């Protein structure tokens, strides 16, 4: 079968570079075009990019000339993955969708639009069904905020045991989540923790409710879970870790008595997601790696399980305030960003949407 031709917008950034790595030798997607700002356009990718990955820049991408982010330069592509700054993503992504392309976005601009699916592929690929009601060939699908992506996977697994009505989460978020330009200055983060990430707590508190929400009865929009039904409280911190967001979560079930600790662990251990059953090439073997060691997960040791496409959950125990508490680790630029986009594209191909 011919591969689906794809482009990456914002290709020089933190998320863009991860797309380049994940698309190398991809079995069904072929990278043919790259876009970035006027600072980079016209240069070979290898000259435009400040490559920050521990794996070498793939040859296939190095020689591609970076284009302006205009659909006229992406006519070979069926899909574009966007790792654009939110300042520019709104207009650019809309223009690509209007030109008939499938746009899979990492920016925040359209995440709250009820006509745009906000998808963490390990959790809510069912929301992609609203694309069937669209009137034009092009469309936008959003990935969640990177810290929300890790949180919702265990919450979805646990919601099989009954509704959840309260979640409290404290994050320790990696530096790559802040992007490269300008990113977090080394003098600000070495020997330090920064207890503020602008807009992040609001994103986690809202996006969790949309991702765990449902398709409306007419099949055209996504209905969030009302804030009165699930209270989410987030506290977000930046720490001196390169990749991998660690989150300490406490949660409560709505019904009394709550499930037992063994039931909670079993629900996490056996959780399966749609990209696995659909045979998506990048689907993780385990959507959740349930770790029993008392000091795991840890970013450096566990973020690359299933190449960053799965999440790790550990320290599952009873919580004296709510019902249960645990620690979740997710790779912020893989399942929290680029990998999520790729898994969404793979899933849409299996559903004949692209
Ligand atoms: N990093 C993460 O873990 C993560 C996770 C989830 C979502 N996100 C979201 O993903 C997006 C990208 O984040 P990032 O961390 O990769 O940021 P970044 O490292 O700062 O990269 C931004 C990219 O946008 C391009 N760009 C900036 N201004 C532009 C313009 N006027 N026209 C065209 N391209 C322009 C840059 O190109 P030049 O190099 O040419 O300037 C660069 O390729 C953001 O919306 C962010 O919120 C990030």
Question: Could you tell me the CATH number of the domain that includes residue 70?
Answer: 3.40.50.720
Judgement on whether residues 131 and 235 belong to the same structural domain of the protein: no
The pLDDT score that the predictor gives to residue 33 is 98
| Same domain flag for 76 and 173 | no
Same-domain check for residues 122 and 232: no
Residues 20 and 50 in one domain: yes
Nearest CA to ligand 1 atom 46: 107
pLDDT recorded at residue 6: 98
CB 3 within 8 A of CB 29: yes
Residue 181, classed as helix, strand or coil, is coil
104, with CB counted inside 10 A (0-12, 13-18, 19+), is buried
Query: Annotated catalytic, 245?
Result: yes
Q: What is the pLDDT of residue 241?
A: 97
Query: 90 C-alpha to center of ligand 1: Å?
Result: 12
- To test the ligand 1 pocket, which listed residue (88, 179, 211, 335) has its Cβ within 8 A of the most ligand atoms? 179
pLDDT at 196: 97
Are residues 154 and 196 part of one domain? yes
Q: Which domain holds residue 20?
A: 4-145+337-350
Nearest atom of ligand 1 to the alpha carbon of 18: 16
Q: Are residues 109 and 197 in the same domain?
A: no
31 and 109 in a single domain? The answer is yes
Largest CA distance in the chain: 63
**Total number of domains constituting the chain:** 2
Please report the pLDDT score of residue 37 as a whole number: 97
pLDDT score for 322: 98
Query: Are 110 and 210 members of one domain?
Result: no
Q: Calculate how far, in angstroms, residue 85's C-alpha sits from the geometric centre of ligand 1.
A: 4
Give, in order, the Cα–Cα distances in Å from 58 to each of 25, 34, 83, 179, 346.
Answer: 9, 14, 18, 20, 21
Distance CA 139, CA 174 (A): 31
Give the CATH number of the domain where residue 314 resides: 3.30.360.10
249 shares its domain with 130 = no
111 and 183 co-located in one domain: no
- Determine the distance separating the centroid of ligand 1 and the alpha carbon of 13, expressed in angstroms: 5
Same domain? 300 vs 217? yes
Which is catalytic among the residues 69, 127, 245, 331?
A: 245
Q: Are residues 155 and 133 in the same domain?
A: no
Per-residue pLDDT at 1:
77
Query: DSSP string spanning 30-49?
Result: EEEEEEE-TTTTTSBHHHH-
Spans in the chain with pLDDT lower than 50: none
146 assigned to active site: yes
Beta strands in the chain (DSSP E): 4-9, 29-36, 66-68, 79-82, 102-105, 118-119, 139-143, 164-173, 214-215, 222-223, 231-238, 245-253, 288-291, 311-318, 324-330
* pLDDT number for residue 179: 84
Rounded Cα–Cα distance for residues 107 and 117 (Å)? 13
């Amino acid at each position: 079968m011919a591969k689906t031709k794809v482009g990456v917008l914002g290709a020089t950034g933190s998320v863009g570079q991860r797309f380049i790595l994940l698309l190398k030798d991809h079995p069904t997607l072929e990278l043919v075009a790259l876009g970035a700002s006027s600072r980079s356009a016209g240069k070979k990718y290898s000259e435009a990019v400040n490559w920050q990955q521990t794996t070498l820049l793939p040859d296939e991408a190095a020689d591609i000339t970076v284009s302006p982010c205009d659909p006229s330069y992406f006519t070979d592509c069926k899909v574009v993955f966007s790792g654009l700054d939110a300042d520019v993503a709104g207009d650019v992504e809309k223009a690509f969708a209007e030109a008939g392309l499938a746009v899979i976005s990492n920016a925040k601009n359209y995440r709250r639009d009820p006509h745009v699916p906000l998808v963490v592929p390990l959790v809510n690929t069912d929301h992609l069904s609203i694309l069937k009601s669209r009137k034009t060939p092009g469309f936008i699908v959003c990935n969640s905020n990177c810290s929300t992506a890790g949180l919702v996977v265990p919450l979805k697994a646990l919601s099989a045991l009954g509704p959840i009505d309260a979640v409290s989460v404290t994050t320790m978020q990696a530096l790559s989540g802040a992007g490269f330009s300008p990113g977090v200055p080394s003098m600000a983060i070495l020997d330090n923790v920064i207890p503020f990430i602008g807009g992040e707590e609001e994103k986690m508190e809202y996006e969790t409710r949309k991702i765990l929400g449902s398709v409306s009865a007419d099949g055209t929009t996504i209905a969030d879970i009302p804030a009165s039904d699930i209270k989410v409280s987030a506290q977000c911190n930046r720490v001196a870790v390169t990749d991998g967001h660690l989150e300490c979560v406490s949660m409560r079930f709505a019904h009394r008595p709550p499930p037992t600790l063994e039931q909670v662990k079993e629900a996490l251990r056996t959780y399966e997601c749609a990209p696995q059953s659909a045979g998506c090439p990048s689907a993780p073997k385990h959507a959740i790696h349930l770790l029993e060691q008392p000091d795991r997960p840890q970013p450096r040791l566990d973020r690359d399980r299933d190449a960053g496409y799965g999440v790790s959950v550990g320290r599952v125990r009873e919580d004296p305030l709510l019902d249960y508490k645990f620690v979740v680790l997710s790779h912020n630029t893989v399942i929290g960003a680029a990998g999520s986009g790729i898994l969404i594209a793979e899933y849409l191909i299996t559903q004949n949407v692209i």
